Amino acid sequence: MKQPREGTNVDGAPARVGDAQEPILVFERVRKNYGDLLALDNVTFKLNRGEVACLIGPSGSGKSTLLRCANALETIDGGRIIFEGIDVASSSTNVRKLRQRMGMVFQNFELFPHLTVLHNITIGSTVVLGMSMRDATIRAVELLRKVGLPEKASEHPAALSGGQQQRVAIARALAMEPDVMLFDEPTSALDPETIGEVLSVMKRLADEGMTMLVVTHEMDFAKRVADWVVVFDKGALIEEGPPSQIFDNPLVPRTRSFLSHLGWHGESIVEGDGR
């Protein structure tokens, strides 16, 4: 079980996991335009090592865009993104090296349909890291066991359920032994009955101390697993804090109204349902 990681600093501000170290990922006044649309509006926040942060907010509020900017699948129009001390958007940065240390999980899985499950997991380590097929296979089998799908190694992705595909996609990203995992709405494309299996794999990863940045609409997951929750609206960060603050005592009215639109009315009312 994960230990409760919140505390209070001497100055009264909530302490964050990994505050003693340099943060792994820093967003500084990040701006992104799509034509006239301001997709990211001066977004500033940090992710510490060992921390699980969830990005929540209405659809189209810029959460996914921010994630894709973090590993340079999208360019930014202003500000800086610093990953492990390196400016992601600088022209002198070797983006491929950075991406090797960031695992990415997509909403639509994006498994490679022409490869078996095993080869989906080994292709990164063999092609990018130059690992031997033998070593890559050993690692892949281990990861498949970890996500609970050891018997699916020789199947093609099309033969798997959505939840199984997403678990393979998580294993594929983990095969690169990344320093941080980025999840872009990992359960949004899933049938309700397979969401749980993906979330529990993610929960286990978090318990093992993996640094994670998760864009999600699963408020229960955010509340139970996140160390830090960041709320987006219309491209801007409107509130951030520990889950206890965001879900029980949001400081910003807009956070409260977003959560209540989702049917979230704070823990007291949820408990009240049990009467």
Partner 1 sequence: MTFDWSVIWSNYGLLLQGAGMTIVLAALTMLIAIPGGLLLAALRISRVAALRTVATGFVESFRATPLILQIYWAFYVLPATFGIGLSPFATALLALSMNVSSFNSETFRAGILSIRKGQTNAGLALGMSRLQTMRYIILPQATMRVLPALASTWVSLFKDTSLVSTIAVAELSFVSLKLRAETYRILEVLTAMAVLYWAMGYPQAKLVEWLHRRFRVVE
Interaction site with partner 1 (CB under 8 A): 68, 71, 73, 96-97, 99-100, 102, 104, 106, 108, 110-114, 123-124, 127-128, 158, 172-173, 176
Residue number with CB closer to partner 1 (65 or 255):
65
Q: Closest separation between CB of residue 99 and partner 1, Å? A: 4
Exposed/middle/buried for residue 3 (C-beta within 10 Å: 0-12, 13-18, 19+): exposed
Task: Report the C-alpha gap between 69 and 181 in whole angstroms.
Answer: 14
Residue number with CB closer to partner 1 (106 or 258):
106
- The two three-digit tokens of residue 255, written as one number: 């956070």
Residue number with CB closer to partner 1 (67 or 230):
67
Task: Report the C-alpha gap between 56 and 241 in whole angstroms.
Answer: 12
- Name the pairing type of β-strands 7-8 and 14-15: antiparallel
- The two three-digit tokens of residue 63, written as one number: 């959460």
Q: Closest separation between CB of residue 110 and partner 1, Å? A: 4
Residue number with CB closer to partner 1 (174 or 238):
174
Q: Closest separation between CB of residue 199 and partner 1, Å? A: 21
Q: Closest separation between CB of residue 236 and partner 1, Å? A: 25
- Name the pairing type of β-strands 86-87 and 78-83: antiparallel
Residue number with CB closer to partner 1 (191 or 220):
191
Q: Closest separation between CB of residue 105 and partner 1, Å? A: 9
- Other beta carbons less than 10 A from residue 191's beta carbon: 10
